Structure 1
């Protein structure tokens, strides 16, 4: 798919896909999703909607009644809260209780799904990074982090340690996964990357230049891969520090590109896409 593929002209039949976020200034998904829809011949447009968490429920409730609304794409910090507002959850969203996409039925019924995890693992594999057998430190326990944790466990990592500012949230993720993946060593851990060969930042740290680093780069083992979910900037301060030490890095944008087809396929019948986008 060419980066120059134009979004088709908006007309009276265009389906609308709001992207709920707070804040929204960093979003790269609308442009990428619109290019994918144009390439698929889908008359739809994704637009960023900055919604404060306190207004999320009433916003989603109002969108149920918009016949032009095809559904919603959801990002930080709304993924867990949106899941609770859906009438039905499917796939990973059902047991993880987080959603990053919601399909609106003709009757206003909302069905949520979660593709961040499968997208993240697909993105890793597309870049030649196989998670199976790795010892992984995942920093974060929010919506995206929960989905990524589930997908990494499902991909057969040997160990998955979850670090989060709130240990209770990290423990919740471990509890969600423990019965489903008994062969994976799951635990809550401090944000110390020593001893791991894949370190994933699944927090929003790195979006702002004043943010603290999620881990100490000096503690990362030689030969480890350092991976992000943050997409803006493309190369975060953590990745810059990892590169300075000669470590392999994996940018956050690969999680998005790997799931664009899945998002479109879920929202629009007949627009199914591949798991890994070109």
Structure 2
């Protein structure tokens, strides 16, 4: 389900691009700078407006739950006060998270990219991409949850910690390849088609019990911790390398971070399945 939730938006956005932007010859991107509105709007009022925007974003979830609870199921909420308080915490938590991204993770990713480019030693850029991909993935809450659920559902056939390491390794490899594409200026199309061709081949070879989990693990890597740093890294590299377009070359690292965990997990399952069969034949 997570895999489909990740793949279908790719199709819809590209269809939108084909319909809306077909025929436009310019690939140039205008970088707009946000004006300082501190003189016009006070900090407190701005905070209230941003909280209202968060409420607007969460409102469809609330309306969906209320519709199914009262109209479809025709039952009241078991503990309305507790649920309302929980949604209030969600709104404030999302607001704090977005502010934290703007103040912390985005500037760090962009700053690191700029400083590494100034050194003119691309080996350190590859090393940073690999290490930041591995480290951020190991810290992903979604990966922790999926790994634990998979371990419980598989009844001992899957090790949650091994899955985390394999996914983190896949993300690290994928981001390193994506950074290499930005540095050398290669076309995104061939890298993505090559990656998914490898995924299709491994899907045909891998044990059935690992295929759906592998695709889901590729989706959960694009979560709260990984996306901001990796996206900022790609944009920072593209903005500071001559001849690169921020829109064309700066984005796409998350796609590599989604593909290669699928590759590492299914490759591991294929090797372990082959090794187990070989041991059984010997015994």
Q: Does the alignment reach a TM-score above 0.5?
A: no
Q: TM-score, normalized by length of structure 2?
A: 0.21
More helix by share: 2
More strand by share: 1
Q: TM-score, normalized by length of structure 1?
A: 0.21
Larger Rg: 2
Q: Which has the higher contact order (CA 8 A, sep 6+)?
A: 2
